[in-house]
Amino acid sequence: MDRNSMNQLIKEEFQRIPHDSHSSQQNELRNFYKMRRQRCLSSDPNQSPAESFAKAVEDVRKRYPEFEPNVTDPAYFGWSR
């Protein structure tokens, strides 16, 4: 997948992961998700977002064990509360 297509897909997925206040745990999630998703799409463009999302949540929970992500479409990421 080329870089432009990858960035467009991630931008669309970000609509399901809302912003929060500056330097919040939610924004850390968005940063980790973007990094992990870029890596995953580079190796397998057909990979679902669920694995990248779960790993990004794990990354945030290393610092904030009680963190619960805010997403508008949990099923898209294979996430259940």
Helix (H, G, I), strand (E, B) or coil at 9: helix
pLDDT at 81: 66
Q: What is the mean pLDDT of residues 54-78?
A: 96
Tell me the pLDDT band of 62, cut-offs 50, 70 and 90.
very high
Give a three-class secondary structure readout of 19-71. CCCCCCHHHHHHHHHHHHHHHHHHHCCCCCHHHHHHHHHHHHHHHCCCCCCCC
What's the pLDDT at 49?
96
Instruction: Give the pTM.
Output: 0.93
DSSP state of 80: -
Q: What is the pLDDT of residues 3-61, one digit of tens each?
A: 999 999 999 999 999 998 877 999 999 999 999 999 999 999 999 999 999 999 999 99
Domain span at 32: 3-16+23-77
Number of domains into which the chain is organized = 1
Residue 53, pLDDT score = 97
